Amino acid sequence: MSDTKPRVVGEVFFVLLLLAVSLFLLWSAYTISGFESFASAGAVPMAAAGLMAVCALVILVQTLRRPPGEPEAGLVRRLMVQVTPPALLFMLVLIVLYVVLLEQLGFLLVSFLFLYASMFVLGSFRWFLNLVVSVGTLVVIYIVFEELFSVVLPGGRLWQGVFQ
């Protein structure tokens, strides 16, 4: 009787992606200053990325030795459901909208909209509590950054003429 767990959908792809990223980081660390000595600027990043690549190779071999979990029929559908659930896709859309609207609408408004909407996406349907938490979070952020640290938060182009 084998206690080996079968592979999960997308596991081989993820390990290959991990290996590719670690090799890219190894190459990037080498371009810092090459490998002239153990005291050179790129030595520690190269060692970390090299260790990451070796570990990724070991994990890849171990993953490929395990039996596949389920038949390959409907692989794309299962991959979408298990690896990229709808909440993740909605959050990705919210993040992209946040980045796109930040310069136009300003930090406070876009952050409020992002926080409020993301709470619904992640399963909190209590609209009043979501509203209080979103506003409270932004009040704390505003006080800490604008007042204490004197960091100017983006105001947005839309509000420039309204409040000046």
CB of 61 closer than 8 Å to CB of 1? no
pLDDT value at position 157? 82
Higher pLDDT, 87 or 33: 87
Whether the pTM exceeds 0.85: the reply is no
Model pLDDT for residues 37-63, shown as the tens digit of each residue: 677 767 888 899 999 999 999 999 999
Question: What is the C-alpha to C-alpha distance for residues 131 and 55, in angstroms, rounded to an integer?
Answer: 45
Question: What is the C-alpha to C-alpha distance for residues 62 and 42, in angstroms, rounded to an integer?
Answer: 30
